[in-house]
Amino acid sequence: MAENRYIVGYAKLGTSSCKKCKQKIEKGAMRIGKVVSNPFSEDGGDMKQWFHPACIFETFVRARATTKKIEDPDDLEDFKDLKDEDKDVIKQIIKDFQAKAGTKAKTPVKRKPPAQGKLPFSPTKTNTTSKASTSTAKPSTSKIKDEIDDNPDDSPEAEKDNSFRQFRRLCAEIAEENSYLGKTKIVSDYIRKGNSGDGFKGSVYLLIKLLLPGVVKSVYNLNNKQLVKLFSQIFGSPLTEMVEDLDKGDVAETIRDYFEQSSVLIPQKKSSLSLQQVDSVLEELSKVTKEDEQQKILTKIAKRCTSNDLKMVVRLIKHDLRINSGAKHILDGLDPNAYEAFQASRNLRDVVDRVLTNHKEAEENGKPGIVKKLSIKACLMTPVLPMLAEACRSVEQAMRKCPNGFYAEIKYDGERVQVHKKGDEFRYFSRSLKPVLAHKVAHFKDFIPKAFPTGNDLILDAEVLLVDTNTGNPLPFGTLGVHKKAAFQDATVCLFVFDCLHINGENLMEKTLKERRRVLQENMTEVKNRVKFSEYQHITKVVHLQELMDKVFQEGLEGLVLKDVNSLYEPGKRHWLKVKKDYLHEGSMADSADLVVLGAYYGTGNKGGLMSIFLLGVYDPKSKKWCTVTKIGNGLDDKTLERLQTELDMVKISKDVTRVPGWLNIKKTVVPDFVVADPKKAPVWEIIGAEFSKAEIHTADGISIRFPRVQKIRDDKNWENATDLPRLKKLFDRSKEKTDIGGTGKLMKQNASTSSNGSSIKIEVDDEDSNHSNITPSTPVKTPSKRKIDSTESHVTPAKKIKAECMYGDSCYQTSPSHKAKFDHRSPTKPNTSNGNNSKLPDVFKGCKIILPPEISKYKELRRFIIAYDGDILPVYEQHIATHIILNNNEKVNVKSKAKVVKVNWLWSCIKKQTLVSTDMYLST
């Protein structure tokens, strides 16, 4: 179109909205439409943007002088079809607009190409080869300010240190340096010396802020394809070509390449942008969401940029400078304690100001090398990075890390929330530092003041979950949603408080957990079912931890969090421990799954343009289709990944649902960039992970794998002997039936073993007649493996290292030699006599599932005998399937179980006689 067209009429359905005020235009109401090109049409069609009559004239107030405006009723198509009273309304609006604008007659001008507005900080030298540069437009009315607020010093040194060109050079130096310490030194030297070598004269705050776009985040509401679409319109480049180039994985490179090729908008030859100007444009971009406004701002900055400038601006928008450097490496260059201080407050300006103040004070005191250490403190109403926990694999690990004892807190299956209170103002932040949805937390403003009557300023670390008002028990994770919460009529949202970081102006983060807990106890009063203390127990002994774990798992709770009583609150650090069932399995599934590669996705960053994430699945013999199980990107080295680019026979479908082949059963959200040409010729990979899980986005009966990784590429297998859907279901069911953790995970296994060299065991035991009777097993005992509840192995070969027992026994479907070498597949009816030695340990406790409490006298010795004599030891919470519960001789306990409750002397009698004796005379009454 040569110039703007406008059309007037009446709303037909009442469904369209005004482009300016966003309000619905009622059915039958008069409206004015601006006819614009349709960006979604391949043949250059038009579309209409509708406005209320008054609203469209408001847009003309801020429009460029070259913009075609409505200055006469004849400028409106279909004006003659209006009612007479509506014609009068339009004429009056035009008259009022002309009076306000100071124009007396319409002055139509030829419309220039869109989005060529002039920046208020446009360069004095313009590119005369660009058609757009001949504009006679008036100064832009954009909100981007020309003033430099952060650094008003206009000296040449300050100007150079604040230049965007120098910023790009600094980023390039950091990216080229491989050592993280080297990266920190580059930042430190630049801040200390500046560009001239006499000191940095620019804005330190802006420099650090732009070096950390992924940490100090602004939201721009622009993904890769939206950026490409907007810049294709700015450059006049084909959108389809830019989208195809985007598959290379770097949107910034794509935009730079097409910027250099553009004949509509020519890049500047020399960079003259400053950090302040770039930051100002990014700030403005973060405040708009409409495409036309975003395009206007991006055009402004593009007019001012070289191609490399624009590439870096796009990377700032994407929060990734590609310099392979985290917040710690940058902030350590500012001050050795800056990172810790920022982790606590998340207030970069405050940290930078305090660092600069400390350095200034040191120089004034004549001691420039001795700088005061930054204090670690939180800022009210600004989220603190939460302290985290690492997985605890065994009780041994817990006792070793916390030798002075620890608080074992119940790990609730809820949502972690950080509560900030300042007077009557409340803010709630999630674990990812985002505001929590109001429906989950809004009501707490009525109960927190009751729980903390003297707390004016507070920062609390807590967990939010639903609790049953009748029982006080917490409800499952995910029930906080609006619709799910409505299903629980007898439940309320409760805040379980477990830490206090700040109270009434006092910073508690540098106090120990014991002291913070004391402050919390002194200042908080529980509000029933609304604000409660998190349940915890002070643990100093292994036995007590085992008992608490048994209780937690029996009640179906998620697990425990273990915290050293003398620990400080260290934001972002994983210095706590978390105990969950799957962690006690050494973090891996009971068995692997052999899955078929079904598709692949493009990677990002360094793996951009490569197939680096793969879609794996199984065959469903019932539907004759392939089902998806998991996406995986871990376990393949760079060399293997490079080889797979050519080895895999893939068909590109670019996540197009309409191009998904008929053999693949897949949800829309996981459609890949590529699918295999023939799944029956696709490779088979052995996949392991933390556990089998449920994920409804996958079609293999919703079964998926948590934290999957490639264990091995199975060249010896094809699709016929890979895991299929029925087998996957069986693996999933077995994984949920099998707990196999005991009470203390690895510790129980280790206590049951002898020395690694296989020396024989000689143990002194007590029976009912003798206090010291020497009993030696007839055969030297190697380290016994931890047995499953349904274990049927009864023979152990002493001359051969015991292998883990395969859960499928001699009916195992796996044919891999490595699997057979790793696991024992003997049938329970066929003892292993391969070495010619028929001697074996007596199977005294075969079929017995025994609960042996740790407080039993000579607990460790008894455990070893029970396991060696083919018995199973169960945790307390599995007493419903136990056959025997052991008590001390003088102990009497009322146990609600079908198991026989017997005195410990029964065990000694069985061991001495090497046969299962009657329990009649040993029953506890």
Secondary structure string (H, E, C) spanning 47-94: EEEEECHHHHHHHHHCCCCCCCCCCCHHHEECHHHCCHHHHHHHHHHH
Nearest to 655 by CA among 243, 38, 258, 255: 243
- CATH number of the domain that 233 lies in? 1.10.3260.10
Q: Are residues 779 and 915 in the same domain?
A: yes
Nearest to 164 by CA among 125, 198, 211: 211
In angstroms, rounded to a whole number, what is the distance separating the alpha carbons of residues 464 and 442?
Answer: 12
Q: Are residues 524 and 665 in the same domain?
A: no
Phi and psi angles of residue 562, each rounded to the nearest 5 degrees, phi first:
-105, 125
DSSP string for residues in 551-620: HHHHTT--EEEEEETT----TT-EEEEEE-GGGGGTTS-SS-EEEEEEEEEEB-GGGBTSEEEEEEEEEE
CB 531, CB 497: distance < 8 Å: yes
Provide the total of helices (H) and of strands (E) in the chain, helices listed first: 27, 33
In angstroms, rounded to a whole number, what is the distance separating the alpha carbons of residues 839 and 405?
Answer: 46
Residue 544 lies in a domain: no
- CATH number of the domain that 899 lies in? 3.40.50.10190
Note if 118 is an active site residue.
no
In angstroms, rounded to a whole number, what is the distance separating the alpha carbons of residues 310 and 256?
Answer: 7
Q: Are residues 341 and 297 in the same domain?
A: no
Q: Are strands 763-765 and 773-775 parallel, antiparallel or unpaired?
A: antiparallel
In angstroms, rounded to a whole number, what is the distance separating the alpha carbons of residues 762 and 861?
Answer: 10
Q: How confident is the model over 779-811, as pLDDT tens digits?
A: 333 334 444 444 333 343 343 445 666 655 665
In angstroms, rounded to a whole number, what is the distance separating the alpha carbons of residues 615 and 345?
Answer: 40
Which residues partner with 416 through β-bridges? Answer: 463
User: Which listed residue (411, 580, 631, 849) is catalytic?
Assistant: 411
- Predicted confidence at residue 661, as pLDDT, reads 94
Query: Any idea which residue has 């349709």 for tokens?
Result: 38
In angstroms, rounded to a whole number, what is the distance separating the alpha carbons of residues 765 and 858?
Answer: 8
In angstroms, rounded to a whole number, what is the distance separating the alpha carbons of residues 846 and 305?
Answer: 80
Dihedral angle of Cα 429, 435, 439, 445, to the nearest 10 degrees: 50
- Domain boundary among the residues 702, 737, 772 is at 737
In angstroms, rounded to a whole number, what is the distance separating the alpha carbons of residues 751 and 759?
Answer: 15
Q: Are residues 602 and 723 in the same domain?
A: yes
Residue 500 lies in a domain: yes
CB 370, CB 362: distance < 8 Å: yes
Over its C-alpha atoms, the chain yields an Rg (Å, rounded) of: 36
Give the number of domains in the chain: 6
- Predicted confidence at residue 859, as pLDDT, reads 86
DSSP state of 111: P
- Predicted confidence at residue 147, as pLDDT, reads 34
In angstroms, rounded to a whole number, what is the distance separating the alpha carbons of residues 520 and 534?
Answer: 11
Which SS3 state, helix, strand or coil, does residue 727 take?
helix
CB 85, CB 41: distance < 8 Å: no
Q: Are residues 782 and 859 in the same domain?
A: yes
Residue 552 lies in a domain: no
Q: Are residues 660 and 608 in the same domain?
A: yes
Query: Which residues neighbour 567 within 8 Å (Cβ) at sequence distance 6 or greater?
Result: 512, 513, 575, 576
**Amino acid present at 153:** D
Distance set, CA 509 to CA 516, 568, 741 (Å): 8, 6, 36
DSSP state of 527: B
CB 212, CB 170: distance < 8 Å: no
Q: Are residues 56 and 170 in the same domain?
A: no
CB 162, CB 152: distance < 8 Å: no
Query: Which residues neighbour 617 within 8 Å (Cβ) at sequence distance 6 or greater?
Result: 595, 596, 598, 626, 627, 628, 629, 698, 699, 700
* Tokens encoding 866: 């029970």
CB 848, CB 882: distance < 8 Å: no
Residue 819 lies in a domain: no
Q: Are residues 90 and 204 in the same domain?
A: no
Question: Which residues of the chain fall below pLDDT 70?
Answer: 1-3, 39-45, 102-157, 368-370, 476-489, 556, 581-590, 736-819, 822, 825-840, 893-894, 896, 925
- CATH number of the domain that 33 lies in? 3.30.1740.10
Q: Are residues 680 and 785 in the same domain?
A: no
Residue 896 lies in a domain: yes
CB 337, CB 300: distance < 8 Å: no
Element (H, E) at 156: helix 156-161
In angstroms, rounded to a whole number, what is the distance separating the alpha carbons of residues 271 and 268?
Answer: 7
Residue 397 lies in a domain: no
In angstroms, rounded to a whole number, what is the distance separating the alpha carbons of residues 90 and 98?
Answer: 12
In angstroms, rounded to a whole number, what is the distance separating the alpha carbons of residues 325 and 722?
Answer: 41
In angstroms, rounded to a whole number, what is the distance separating the alpha carbons of residues 616 and 698?
Answer: 10
Q: CA 912: distance to chain centroid?
A: 56
Which SS3 state, helix, strand or coil, does residue 182 take?
helix
Which SS3 state, helix, strand or coil, does residue 635 take?
coil
Query: Which residues neighbour 60 within 8 Å (Cβ) at sequence distance 6 or greater?
Result: 67, 69, 70, 97, 101
Query: Which residues neighbour 309 within 8 Å (Cβ) at sequence distance 6 or greater?
Result: 164, 165, 168, 268, 271, 273
Query: Which residues neighbour 128 within 8 Å (Cβ) at sequence distance 6 or greater?
Result: none
In angstroms, rounded to a whole number, what is the distance separating the alpha carbons of residues 278 and 29?
Answer: 43
Q: Are residues 526 and 643 in the same domain?
A: no
Domain of residue 461 covers: 413-468+479-504+518-533
Helices 239-246 and 224-235: crossing angle, nearest 10°?
140
CB 7, CB 77: distance < 8 Å: yes
Q: Are residues 620 and 488 in the same domain?
A: no
Residue 134 lies in a domain: no
- Predicted confidence at residue 811, as pLDDT, reads 57
* Tokens encoding 571: 């934001």
Query: Which residues neighbour 643 within 8 Å (Cβ) at sequence distance 6 or greater?
Result: none
CB 285, CB 129: distance < 8 Å: no
- Predicted confidence at residue 116, as pLDDT, reads 37
In angstroms, rounded to a whole number, what is the distance separating the alpha carbons of residues 702 and 698?
Answer: 5
Nearest to 619 by CA among 651, 585, 596: 596
- Domain boundary among the residues 272, 290, 317 is at 317
Residue 868 lies in a domain: yes
Residue 192: CA count within 13 A, CB half-sphere: 12
Please state whether 654 falls in left (phi above 0), alpha (psi between -120 and 50) or beta.
Answer: left
In angstroms, rounded to a whole number, what is the distance separating the alpha carbons of residues 882 and 864?
Answer: 18
CB 565, CB 407: distance < 8 Å: yes
Distance set, CA 872 to CA 502, 606, 848, 876 (Å): 50, 51, 6, 13
Q: Are residues 97 and 197 in the same domain?
A: no
Residue 254: CA count within 13 A, CB half-sphere: 26
CB 474, CB 558: distance < 8 Å: no
In angstroms, rounded to a whole number, what is the distance separating the alpha carbons of residues 410 and 406?
Answer: 13
- CATH number of the domain that 630 lies in? 2.40.50.140
Q: Are strands 406-411 and 388-391 parallel, antiparallel or unpaired?
A: unpaired
Dihedral angle of Cα 37, 40, 43, 46, to the nearest 10 degrees: -30
- Predicted confidence at residue 232, as pLDDT, reads 94
CB 236, CB 264: distance < 8 Å: yes
Distance set, CA 202 to CA 83, 149, 199, 276, 846 (Å): 63, 12, 9, 10, 79
Phi and psi angles of residue 386, each rounded to the nearest 5 degrees, phi first:
-70, 150
